Structure 1
Amino acid sequence: MRSTVFIIGLLIIMGSCKTSLNISDVEAQNIPVASTELSADSSIILMVMPYKLNLESDMSKVISISDEELVAEKPESKLTNLMADLILQSGVAYCKMNYKNFKPDMSFVNYGGLRSSLPKGQITVGDIYELMPFENTMVLLKVDGETMSEFVSQIASRGGDGVAGIRLRINDDSIGTLLVGGKPIDRSKDFWIVTNDYVAAGGDNMSMLLDRKQFISTGLKIRDVVIDSLNEQFKRGKRIQVELDGRMYYE
């Protein structure tokens, strides 16, 4: 008991003798770090170098040859036609390989998603990365005829995008004539659209696509689909040769 009292008393005395410290002034200065004084770690360089070389090799791989420079323009262009054709072909191939009982009626590539042109001559993997820098995936949407019509109306209102599978005559920024698969659109039927996940989520003012009947994500990146498609054609000796075919035009 006495020891306990002694310890408590000792703590009280120590607390009362504690010195109070107050900050009276603060001095600060910048300590420069010269980049020349930082030496690279050779072990890190050796570890990273193979990946760097592989990346450079991949980006410089030639996957096709174009007879001319391809630039995105409206209402249609050889570049937007090429991209839309490749996506439609890939969508059809995906449905066939996965035993789907349908195939896409049209493809859509938003004009704003194409961020560069394709040069005349050799086309490399790096060129496609510059053209399509986003990590968008290919998706399939089932929509009714009214939603399909509203979707194409939005395309017409902004003067065109990349499409395949349809023929659109634009009149006063609206649908003049719309053919799907070579036939006038039947608004009582359903249609399948192959596009990217950004657009399918309502991006680029395409909110009407949120009112879909079915959604299928292929898990395939749009950019990879384009690269693989061009590369396969190139292996078969096919160059990029695209024509304007009047799939989208003003009255």
Structure 2
Amino acid sequence: MNLKTLLLLICIVAFASCKTKTHLYKIEGKQIAISDSLSSDIAIENYIKPYRDHVNGNLDSVLAYSVDTYSKNDGELNTAIGNLMADIVYKQANPVFKSRTGRDIDMVLLNHGGIRSIISKGNITSRTAYEIMPFENAIVVAKLPGAQIKELLEYLAAAKRAHPISQLKLTLDKDYNIESATLKNKPIDFTKTYYVATNDYLYNGGDHMDFFKKSDTLYVLDYKIRNALIDYFTETDTINPVIDDRFIKKNN
């Protein structure tokens, strides 16, 4: 066989190889249930154990003490745990807001459903804060004109839920109509503009709080509610929140 013929054969084989295709005709799978019957991988367990221990150590470090157990279901229109959360947001966020704007927050409004756990009697840890607020909700401050403040009050009266508030005092009559409302113990001037601290979920219309959508000015504090809780617990030896008269309904 001469060189020319050999080269021709090589080219034919190579061309035929390029034309060869592989087809995938079938894929099979099966479901593997995750249960106690699955054995753990010791090597993996040993690898992650130091990290798990470190995280648990941080989460379980004692920050404060609670004199009682508090639940969001303890009151009709305001609860001890809700009052505590709203007051914490005001206390921790107002200095940040004032340092940036020279103004004070006028009130705080959170949502009842955002409280995801109780505070148990005894030691309060970082884990407690994560259980109460497992979401990444951040504190924001919305500039609201008086007309939207009026909508906010009407929303609270119609909702008939213990949405946490701070610096606002709202009284309803026996039929859930607004009888009186004050901010920082002063009558509300509906011709003025007020600064309302809330979370980013509510500002974007969560829980149908659509009045926030009409705000044309928003201040993002880069401060998560969970971090505000942890900071407050770190600074506070003992907590003893109470149900008070900040949001009530008269019975006669």
Distance 2:31 2:190 in 1: 71
**TM-superposition CA deviations, 1:153-174 (whole Å, max 9, x none):** 1122112310010100123334
Matches within 5 A, 1:117-196: 117-159=118-160, 160-171=162-173, 172-196=175-199
Matches within 5 A, 1:7-86: 35-36=38-39, 39-41=41-43, 44-72=44-72, 73-86=75-88
| Secondary structure of the corresponding residue to residue 207 of structure 2 | coil
- 1:91 maps to which residue? 93
Instruction: Please state how far the C-alpha of 1:226 moved relative to its aligned partner.
Output: 0.8
Distance 1:207 1:121 in 2: 38
Deviates more, 1:87-96 or 1:160-169: 87-96
The percentage of aligned residue pairs carrying the same residue is 26
Q: Check whether the contact 1:63–1:231 (CA below 8 A) recurs between aligned residues.
A: yes
Distance 1:31 1:64 in 2: 46
Distance 1:62 1:131 in 2: 16
Distance 2:186 2:67 in 1: 33
- 1:210 maps to which residue? 213
Q: Check whether the contact 1:200–1:210 (CA below 8 A) recurs between aligned residues.
A: yes
Distance 1:29 1:212 in 2: 52
**TM-superposition CA deviations, 1:61-100 (whole Å, max 9, x none):** 111111111111330111111111111111212123x342
Q: Does 1:200 align with 2:203?
A: yes
Residue 67 of structure 2 aligns to which amino acid in structure 1?
D
Deviating 4+ runs (over 4 angstroms) = 28-34
Instruction: Please state how far the C-alpha of 1:135 moved relative to its aligned partner.
Output: 0.8
How many residue pairs end up in the alignment?
235
Distance 2:130 2:210 in 1: 27
Distance 1:99 1:32 in 2: 54
Scaled by the length of structure 1, the TM-score of the pair is 0.81
Stretches of structure 2 lacking an aligned partner (at least 5 in a row)? 17-25
Q: Does 1:241 align with 2:237?
A: no
- 1:220 maps to which residue? 223
Q: Check whether the contact 1:74–1:161 (CA below 8 A) recurs between aligned residues.
A: no
Instruction: Please state how far the C-alpha of 1:46 moved relative to its aligned partner.
Output: 4.1
Stretches of structure 1 lacking an aligned partner (at least 5 in a row)? 16-25
Distance 2:182 2:31 in 1: 70
Residue 242 of structure 2 aligns to which amino acid in structure 1?
E
Q: Check whether the contact 1:91–1:103 (CA below 8 A) recurs between aligned residues.
A: no
Distance 2:216 2:29 in 1: 64
Distance 2:135 2:38 in 1: 33
Q: Check whether the contact 2:182–2:188 (CA below 8 A) recurs between aligned residues.
A: yes
| Secondary structure of the corresponding residue to residue 169 of structure 1 | strand
Scaled by the length of structure 2, the TM-score of the pair is 0.81
Q: Check whether the contact 1:71–1:79 (CA below 8 A) recurs between aligned residues.
A: yes
Residue 201 of structure 1 aligns to which amino acid in structure 2?
N
Instruction: Please state how far the C-alpha of 1:32 moved relative to its aligned partner.
Output: 8.3
CA RMSD of aligned residues (A): 3.4
Distance 1:133 1:213 in 2: 29
Distance 1:117 1:31 in 2: 37
**TM-superposition CA deviations, 1:171-223 (whole Å, max 9, x none):** 33342211111112111000001111101111111111011131011111101
Distance 2:247 2:193 in 1: 22
- Over 3 Å counting, the alpha-carbon distance change for 1:51 and 1:174 in structure 2 is farther
